[in-house]
Structure 1
Amino acid sequence: MPATATEERAEALRMIRDSAAVVVPPDGGLGRVRGLRFTLPGIDPAVWRSMGAMGWIGLRLPEEAGGAGLGMAEACALLEELGRALVPEPLVAGALSARLLAAGGDTALLPALLAGESLVLTAWQQSADSLEAPGDREGARLFIPMAAAAQAFLLPVREGGALALYAVEGVRPETRRTQDGGHVGSLLPDLAAARRVAPNVGEAMALALDEAALGTAAYLLGLMERCFAMTLDYLRQRQQFGKPLGSFQALQHRAADLKIQLVLTRASVEGAAAELDAGATGDARRALVSRAKARAAEAAMRVTREAVQLHGAIGYTDEYDIGLFLRKAMVIANAFGSAALHRARYMRCASHPGAA
């Protein structure tokens, strides 16, 4: 019998998950991640090129723009797998830049970015915990992820009632370390040295930020699921008083609570991705994304913190991998909006989800 549309979509999602094996070790080892911590540029350029070769950077772009033309469900499935392996390469941020360059019709930076031959990052954020680009001409641009690895930066700038896009190359941002061993950068826009890419990318910017927030939620989902699985393995193997730790009812109850968090987060992320692929726009899209991101951010912090506690004293040592998941969650839970920001945005948008 011919495959149904549902079966075909499930197979496509399975294939995109399997493709993550290009950058994820078969045994799930975190040696590469550990080797890149607290170094600059903090990523492996060869891995970034592999991501480009696999079409991941332009996964959401239409084929006529050089992308793969796939949906948010595929993007989230891929990012889950990267979250399981704590992959440090900034795929979410790179895809955001690709979205803006494609919207602006750029032919100078986009091809190399999509191929993974360069990294272009968008310097849009000017204050902590935000999901809008103010676009001040002179305001410092902050919290640029893995900024030392970028060859170029995009600068959204308010011009009249539009959000213009500029590109600047060859600048060195200031960087500071983050808890997970990565870094963020900041820079002051110098429009005299920048090239104007497009006169108005306002709609593309709003969509790109929503997709980035949902993609980050998917990364957090993969991260916490791997962290939870490692914790269950530990509870089954570790003995106390002649019994596995997992046999104690109090610990079983804690594990069950964490499993509920995972199930609810998956439902929110997958539901939002499906609705975006079905054409959700405006406040409906924003509400869906915010619900998923708020839940993922809170659940990731709870799951990773309790995982460290359930591992006992060994969980607090840097040599033991479980702590890497908590550190990563601490850094990216607030990326593209904290849980508090998204709860507030959900309340505003869910009251009239049909608005454009």
Structure 2
Amino acid sequence: MPVWSQEDRLIADSADALFADTGGLTGLRLGNGRTLARIRAEGWAGVLLDEEQGGLGFGLRGAAIVMQSAGRNLSPEPLAAMIAVAWLLGTIGEGTLVSELMSGQQIILSAHAQWDGERYVTGAIPGIAVADHLVVFCSDDQSLRLINCKNAKDPEVDIDIFSTVDFGSSGAASFAKGAGTILCVGKIATELAEKIEDLVRLFHAAELVGIAAQALTIVSDYVKIRQQFGVSLSSHQVIQHRLASVHVQIAAAEAIVYEAVRAVDGEQRRFGVKTAYQQARHAAELSTREAIQFHGGIGFTDECDIGLFFKRVMGIAAAQNGCLPVIEERVA
């Protein structure tokens, strides 16, 4: 497991306080939107941006720590994409958009789109219901475009939104050939689109580690108080062994995620990010499934906290387009 510095712990404590102060799991169930309001007001999307750009200057490691906290607290907001897009806009010098994003005036997410012969069509975009704009990479002409998704009267852009099982939202966009504003084209656009994709996947990996760790904490506390035949579940060695196995997988995932963070600017970035995501998703699925198993049937219900963690893992998997089998094949 990585060794955290005092600065790392301060970042984690600040992020935990943000999510706790805005309602935690109760706020998630109620959908009160307070977390998103705080993220916008306090500029949390700018954790990767330097202070000179109006950001928080936490760096990539700090961003991963924030996302780990988001996982522990089950934040439904599309924070991973917001952070990645803020970095992109800062990199290409879109100062006005960065200022609007940091001041809370804009929520901008990312997407990929393909030409279907009539319109550009994106894949699923988690959190699109709260987005003001999208930064979309169009693969056919290798362009990055800024698409306005709040102008309902714009016939060139169509947004389809649906609710997800983890109390969030997702959806897809389609737009005409001439829609939006072109930010950049060619090789630089392709490289930036790949970097955004890797950053979002890496942040989701960190979020999954946080989910896995919190699920293990919840179930460890539960088996100490849950009794069968007059003894607690935690007294059974088989339970102890299974929880220990989960802990090992989480520790391995966390170490790999932060190694991928360290090597993100190297030649093996894509391999490292995919490996980190694979291990983190495996650890999160194992942790939440075991936790539900030890809780019994009630564990899968919305009234039981642990069920929410399992559903969030499924939500992140859907956001990554179910790409784990492909990632496993490439990593192997």
Question: What is aligned with 1:352?
Answer: none
Tell me by how many angstroms 1:171 deviates.
3.9
The alpha-carbon distance between structure 1 residues 171 and 142, as it changes in their structure 2 partners (threshold 3 A), is farther
Determine the C-alpha separation between the residues in 2 that align with 1:169 and 1:180.
Answer: 23
The answer for the alignment partner of 1:340 in structure 2 is 325
1:53 deviation in Å?
4.5
Q: What's the secondary structure of 1:143's corresponding residue? A: coil
Q: 1:48 to 1:313 in 2, by over 3 A?
A: closer
Q: CA deviation at 1:91?
A: 0.7
Equivalent of 1:165 in 141, 145, 150: 145
SS at match of 2:205: helix
Seen in structure 2, the aligned counterparts of structure 1 residues 125 and 236 have a Cα distance that, compared at 3 Å, is farther
Query: Could you tell me which residue of structure 2 aligns to residue 188 of structure 1?
Result: 174
Query: Alpha carbons of 1:77 and 1:327: their partners in 2 closer, same or farther (altered >3 Å)?
Result: same
CA RMSD, Structure 1 to Structure 2 (Å):
2.6
User: Which letter maps to 1:51?
Assistant: I
**1:87 alignment partner, one of 64, 69, 75:** 75
Give CA deviations for 1:135-162 in whole Å, capped at 9, x if unaligned: 99833112111111111222222465x4
Show the counterpart of 2:54: 66
Tell me the equivalent position of 1:289: 273
CA distance in 2 between counterparts of 1:125 and 1:329 reads 25
Decide which of 5, 10, 25 is 1:15's aligned counterpart: 10
- 1:52, CA displacement in angstroms? 4.0
**Which residue of the partner structure matches residue 202 of structure 1?**
190
User: Is there any run of 5+ residues in structure 2 with no aligned partner, and where?
Assistant: 153-158
- SS of the aligned residue for 2:56 comes to coil
- Aligned partners of 1:92 and 1:215 also within 8 Å: yes
Alpha-carbon spacing, 1:84–1:188, altered in 2? closer, same or farther (3 Å) = same
Q: Deviations over 1:301-340 (max 9, x none)?
A: 1211111011113213321111000111111034336322
Question: Partners of 1:209 and 1:105 in 2: how far apart?
Answer: 19
- Asked if 1 retains the 8 angstrom alpha-carbon contact of 2:120 and 2:176, the reply is no
Greater shift after overlay, 183-192 or 226-235?
183-192
SS at match of 1:24: helix
2:214 corresponds in structure 1 to 226
TM-score by length of 2: 0.88
The letter of the residue matching 2:216 is F
Q: Distance in 2 between matches of 1:51 and 1:345?
A: 35
Q: Deviations over 1:273-318 (max 9, x none)?
A: 1223xxx323x11111111001111221121111101111321332
CA distance in 2, matches of 1:204, 1:197: 11
- Tell me the distance in 2 between the aligned counterparts of 1:266 and 1:177: 30
**Which residue of 2 is the match for residue 308 of structure 1?**
292
Separation in 1 of the partners of 2:193 and 2:102? 18
Aligned identity (percent) is 32
1:155 corresponds to which residue? 136
Please identify, of 56-65 and 13-22, the stretch whose mean Cα deviation from structure 2 is larger. 56-65
| Structure 1 residues 27 and 175: alpha-carbon distance in aligned structure 2, compared to 1, 3 A threshold | closer
SS in 2 for 1:170: coil
1:236 is the counterpart of 2:224: yes
Helix, strand or coil at the partner of 1:263: helix
> Which moved further from structure 2: 52-61 or 70-79?
52-61
Post-superposition offset of 1:265: 0.8
Per the alignment, residue 143 of structure 1 pairs with: 124
Which one is further off, 246-255 or 337-346?
337-346
Instruction: Show the 5 A alignment for 1:269-284.
Output: 269-276=257-264, 280-282=265-267, 284=268
- Residue 150 of structure 2 aligns with an amino acid whose one-letter code is G
Residues 136 and 334 of structure 1, relative CA distance in 2, 3 Å threshold: farther
Structure 1 residues 233, 342: CA separation in 2 closer, same or farther (over 3 Å shift)? same
Seen in structure 2, the aligned counterparts of structure 1 residues 137 and 114 have a Cα distance that, compared at 3 Å, is farther
How far apart in 2 are the matches of 1:82 and 1:164? 28
Q: Is the 8 A contact 2:113 2:139 kept in 1?
A: no
Matched, 1:319 2:303: yes
Say whether the 8 Å CA contact 1:113–1:119 is kept in structure 2: yes
- Unmatched segments (≥5 aa) in structure 1: 1-5, 37-42, 127-133, 348-356
**How far off its partner does 1:125 sit?**
5.3
Deviation at residue 29 of structure 1 after TM alignment = 4.4
User: What letter corresponds to residue 120 of structure 1 in structure 2?
Assistant: I
C-alpha contact (below 8 Å) 1:265/1:299 kept by paired residues: yes
Given that 1:167 and 1:196 are in contact with CA atoms closer than 8 Å, whether structure 2 keeps it comes out as no
Moved more, 205-214 or 323-332: 205-214
Cα contact 1:57–1:91 (8 A) shared by 2: yes
Shift of 1:248: 1.0
| Count of residue pairs the alignment pairs up | 322
**1:24 corresponds to:** 19
